[in-house]
Structure 1
Amino acid sequence: MAAFAALACFAAPAGAADFTQGMTSSGSTATIWFKSSVATTWVDIHYQVNGGPQQNLRMGYNSGAARYEQVVTGVANGNTLGYFFTYNNGAPAYDSARFTATVGGGTTTPPPAASGTICFYEHADYQGASFCGDADNSWVGATWNDRVSSVKVKSGYQVDLFDDINFGGRTLTLGADTPNLVNVNFNDIVSSFRVRQGNGSVDLPVGSGVMTIKLVNNTGGAFADNQVYWSIIGYDPSSKVLSHVDASGRLVPSALADNTAGNRLAKNGTTYSNYFNKLSDAGWVSIPKIDSGRMFISLGSPMFIKINTAGDGRLGFAGPDLNNPTDPNQDVNFEWIEFTVDNSGYHGNTTRVDQFGFPLKTRLLGKDGYDRTLGENASRAQIFADFEALPQGEFRALVQRPYRIVAPAKGQFGTGRAQGNYFASYVDQVWSRYAGTDLVFSAEAGTFRGRVIGNDFVFSKDGGPQNLYIRGKPTTQGILEASGNLASGNSQELVVQAQIAAAFNRHLLISVDPSQWSNSAAYYPAGPANYYAKFWHDHSIDGLAYGFAYDDVRSKSTLLEHPTPRGMIVTIGW
């Protein structure tokens, strides 16, 4: 007779066992048993005799023994039973580890805990069945395809997960244990993976600042390093003064005199500040803390940025103005990254809110092994070609070859332009619909209930008074640019306005239940919609993009954050 008890491998390391189990045999009959210590109301057994066909059966409950049992007949001494259980603990269901027992033999033990370079688990928090890998795998096999929910990564390594076989489709890079792939938009979709040395082996120089930013020229020879320019402008968090980061990583206060300094830039008879460095001279910089920073990147020419005095008397700067046909940057290929580095770490993103000039990828590395990359996953030529092939013809005119693709309100969707009233009929439908019925949606800030009263959309929060307003119908430009009556009022009104603006852009109002407003698969079901924004989600890693000002609503933007940043690698594509 063989009998044993074991902890389930999916139990939390510090928790009690979910069950005990074992196998007893007598003559030609074996009984596999399962005794739960949690809220179990059913148990399925999956077993094989001597590696034969797998049987999948619902186990019966033996009230006398207070356990679930399955009788297996026709066995003989020396036969091997391989089996595992599926059982519930309340609502969730779990798969156990796989066990073996020998009829008439000695005690068996469960398989050892998962061990290897990269270990994959069926459930969150490293629960359920598991397997490990030490090398690239172009397909995880039918058993594991679209089944991984958590991953453990051995120190010094990282894994690139792919949602298609042969390292295709969307990708996610992990450099540390990840207990829940739901949180990073990659649950139950892994089909292949690559294993490599972790970010500790990444060539990332270290300076005296908070973190390093390294730039990589991936333009394929279109631009040499001495034709790639970068600068960083932002605000000193201590003095609140506009400043720029020089090549040595110092935060240098800006001045109006920088427009006429000895190193000034000039174009069309006007002079400009020059905070730009060539990649050939400075390929990385160790940056200090900085508020509202922008890293400008340009190809072939530096950008022309004027230092000016803002209305409050503080220094500011005039970046590129795509609505101004005489702006000196109209014929410059440029991009930028928005970020802040403060006491809680790095917070930043690439952006398509105004335009696309060339592909960018940002790879944020943490001191704890965090490693994530976001950005476009196609070449510039492919992006231009795909955009010009959009089925929504009104958006194709946003292409302004050879320099950029502009955001809708910077092109034909601007005031007085051909598509200037693009959303007007949809707005009318929304106002009409919710004049007679309530719109109820939940967000991180609470649950909001709204109804159109007169010409205003008026909301309450969490059952409180109706005192949160969208005053009047928004315009097409207000929807696209998060402006006007979709960007006014108190902090709670701004929350409502952001949610409604995002719902307009994604065409969620009326047709999509608010319970699905966080589900990317429900977005853009029909027009009118911001197909410019949709395009960037379709052409970006993990489907994340900043296609309009409120694209961060429900965490769909390219925001990268980490409390202990080691550095960021910016890859400049073409």
Structure 2
Amino acid sequence: MLAALAAAVIFATGFTAAGPAAPAEAAVPTTIPLTLTNSSGRADPVYIYNLGTLLTTGQQGWADANGTFHAWPAGGNPPTPAPDASIAGPANGQSVTIRMPKFSGRVYFSYGQKLDFRLTTGGLVQPAVQNPSDPNRNILFNWTEYTLNDAGLWINSTQVDMFSAPYAVGVKAPNGTTKTTGHLKAGGYNGFFDSLRSQPGGWANLIQTRSDGTVLRALSPGHGIGAGVLPASVMDDYINRVWSRYTTSTLTVTPFTDQPNTKYFGRVSGNTMNFTNSAGAVVTSFQKPDADSIFGCYKLLDAPNDLVRGPISRTLCAGFNRSTLLANPNQPDTSPASFYQDGVTNHYAKKIHERMADGKAYAFAFDDVGNYESLVHDGDPQQAYITLDPFN
């Protein structure tokens, strides 16, 4: 999503926090507690950052441990160092509770050293470790994305950009129950990297290690293509078969579960897949995508926030990443038994989902098609949680 350090200015989230405004008497407090528990087994010091956009004003900034908002100062070109927004995190086996304000943003955590944030004239520069010159390239870190507003809390565990330091998120409801997601199965962390190393076709090159041998992360395949470590042609065989199949047959897309009669019909002509509505009128068209468009769910599979092209594109993106478009002409296919069965698929996403305790992940931007995203929500959140999990 963020291709280079200087370009990584705005938050890119893998989910949309949408919903009706809560009634005034049930409004979420200005801040809620966030408890971070360190179960990592690592002795390194942990640093926490709560960065985002203050929803009441639209300002970018950070929150301190008390949930007080601080706006970023003006940046420069080249980017200038940001103020130190770090909060001391918990030692292994300990917990720390801070306050989170009504943000749309990220909570970062790093092991061993602080992250290096910069400011441009356009705002905060996010770490972009697919760029070899990013100052955070050799730091072990990760982040969660969240939105807290009057309609509640949405918080996820994300692998859209990379798979790295393991963690889970949770939210406590008023009745005292806690919803969690993001935990790996026992052995899932090492199992993921072992499986990726053994996957032919360049997938092992997504793994980044530090000079001391520490495994830092695996880049998402879109970033791998951008960094030149995964072949740009990695999905071509599947794409060509899809294009050939729907030259002589029809791909039916029913993008809204609550609108089963809203259908669009795709047929390929040359380099273009045209979608018609039930009246036979062409409503949108897609040029033959490449792997980068598929993995990023953008470019040739752009998904605007509308009611036609965006929902169709989301469905195509999920179908390509999960390799369900040939096995099922009716999309979206939301049966997990059908996912990733073709030899040409998003192996990164496949291996992550296989190792998640609940099967849920944000391994690509529209992993929420069929509700397979690692996201929890509550309309009246009492407490949020982040658990730093073991590296095993």
Which of 191, 201, 204 is residue 396 of structure 1 equivalent to?
204
Which of 59, 73, 78 is residue 241 of structure 1 equivalent to?
59
Q: Which has the larger radius of gyration?
A: 1
Cα distance, 1:461 vs structure 2: 3.9
Q: Show the 5 A alignment for 1:91-240.
A: 209-223=30-44, 227-240=45-58
Give, in whole Å, the separation in 2 of the partners of 1:417 and 1:247.
39
Give, in whole Å, the separation in 1 of the partners of 2:273 and 2:359.
31
Q: Please give the secondary structure, in 1, of the residue aligned with 2:203.
A: helix
Give, in whole Å, the separation in 1 of the partners of 2:160 and 2:144.
11
Alignment correspondent of 2:272:
456
Cα distance, 1:323 vs structure 2: 2.7
Distance of aligned partners of 1:369 and 1:463 in 2 relative to their CA distance in 1, 3 Å threshold: farther
Q: Could you tell me the TM-score, scaled by structure 2's length?
A: 0.82
Alignment correspondent of 2:316:
500
2:167 is equivalent to residue 360 of structure 1: yes
Deviations 1:128-168 (A, max 9, x none): xxxxxxxxxxxxxxxxxxxxxxxxxxxxxxxxxxxxxxxxx
Q: Please give the secondary structure, in 2, of the residue aligned with 1:565.
A: coil
Alignment correspondent of 2:116:
304
- Output the amino acid matched with 2:65: A
Alignment correspondent of 1:478:
293
Q: Is the 8 A contact 2:168 2:388 kept in 1?
A: yes
Alignment correspondent of 2:98:
285
2:133 is equivalent to residue 323 of structure 1: no
Q: Could you tell me the TM-score, scaled by structure 1's length?
A: 0.57
Cα distance, 1:208 vs structure 2: 6.8
Q: Please give the secondary structure, in 2, of the residue aligned with 1:467.
A: strand
- Output the amino acid matched with 2:64: D
2:160 is equivalent to residue 344 of structure 1: no
Alignment correspondent of 2:194:
386
Q: Is the 8 A contact 1:359 1:379 kept in 2?
A: no
Give, in whole Å, the separation in 2 of the partners of 1:381 and 1:495.
33
- Output the amino acid matched with 1:477: D
Distance of aligned partners of 1:360 and 1:490 in 2 relative to their CA distance in 1, 3 Å threshold: closer
Alignment correspondent of 1:151:
none
Q: Is the 8 A contact 2:81 2:117 kept in 1?
A: no
Give, in whole Å, the separation in 1 of the partners of 2:335 and 2:253.
13
Distance of aligned partners of 1:367 and 1:467 in 2 relative to their CA distance in 1, 3 Å threshold: same
Distance of aligned partners of 1:221 and 1:415 in 2 relative to their CA distance in 1, 3 Å threshold: closer
Alignment correspondent of 1:406:
219
Distance of aligned partners of 1:256 and 1:322 in 2 relative to their CA distance in 1, 3 Å threshold: same
Q: Is the 8 A contact 1:394 1:419 kept in 2?
A: yes
Q: Please give the secondary structure, in 1, of the residue aligned with 2:263.
A: strand
Higher relative CO (Cα under 8 Å, sequence separation at least 6) belongs to 2
Give, in whole Å, the separation in 2 of the partners of 1:228 and 1:417.
30
Aligned-pair identity in percent equals: 27
2:182 is equivalent to residue 375 of structure 1: yes
Cα distance, 1:362 vs structure 2: 0.9
Cα distance, 1:455 vs structure 2: 2.2
Deviations 1:204-256 (A, max 9, x none): xxx97442111011121432xxx101111111112111121111111222212
Instruction: Considering fraction of residues, name the structure with more strand.
Output: 1
Q: Show the 5 A alignment for 1:28-67.
A: none
- Output the amino acid matched with 1:397: N
> How many positions carry a matched residue from both structures?
347
Q: Is the 8 A contact 1:304 1:328 kept in 2?
A: yes
Q: Is the 8 A contact 1:392 1:531 kept in 2?
A: no
Give, in whole Å, the separation in 2 of the partners of 1:272 and 1:516.
43
- Output the amino acid matched with 1:289: K
Cα distance, 1:441 vs structure 2: 2.6
Give, in whole Å, the separation in 1 of the partners of 2:178 and 2:87.
27
Distance of aligned partners of 1:538 and 1:240 in 2 relative to their CA distance in 1, 3 Å threshold: same
Cα distance, 1:270 vs structure 2: 6.8
- Output the amino acid matched with 2:207: V
Q: Is the 8 A contact 2:253 2:312 kept in 1?
A: no
Cα distance, 1:396 vs structure 2: 2.1
Which of 231, 242, 250 is residue 438 of structure 1 equivalent to?
250
Structure 2 segments unaligned to the other structure (5+ residues):
1-27
Distance of aligned partners of 1:458 and 1:489 in 2 relative to their CA distance in 1, 3 Å threshold: farther
Give, in whole Å, the separation in 1 of the partners of 2:168 and 2:218.
18
- Output the amino acid matched with 2:365: A
Structure 1 segments unaligned to the other structure (5+ residues):
1-206, 260-268, 311-315
Give, in whole Å, the separation in 2 of the partners of 1:493 and 1:434.
18
Give, in whole Å, the separation in 1 of the partners of 2:68 and 2:310.
36
Q: What is the RMSD computed on CA atoms of the aligned residues?
A: 2.5
Cα distance, 1:278 vs structure 2: 0.8
Cα distance, 1:366 vs structure 2: 0.9
Give, in whole Å, the separation in 2 of the partners of 1:457 and 1:393.
28
Q: Please give the secondary structure, in 1, of the residue aligned with 2:244.
A: helix
Alignment correspondent of 1:256:
74
Of stretches 505-514 and 378-387 in structure 1, the one that deviates more from structure 2 is 378-387
Cα distance, 1:415 vs structure 2: 7.2
Q: Please give the secondary structure, in 2, of the residue aligned with 1:505.
A: helix
Cα distance, 1:464 vs structure 2: 6.0
- Output the amino acid matched with 1:524: Y
Q: Is the 8 A contact 2:196 2:351 kept in 1?
A: no
Cα distance, 1:549 vs structure 2: 1.3
Give, in whole Å, the separation in 2 of the partners of 1:461 and 1:370.
44
Q: Please give the secondary structure, in 1, of the residue aligned with 2:154.
A: strand
Alignment correspondent of 1:510:
326
Distance of aligned partners of 1:379 and 1:254 in 2 relative to their CA distance in 1, 3 Å threshold: farther
Give, in whole Å, the separation in 2 of the partners of 1:495 and 1:516.
10
Q: Is the 8 A contact 1:273 1:307 kept in 2?
A: no
- Output the amino acid matched with 1:485: L
- Output the amino acid matched with 2:352: W
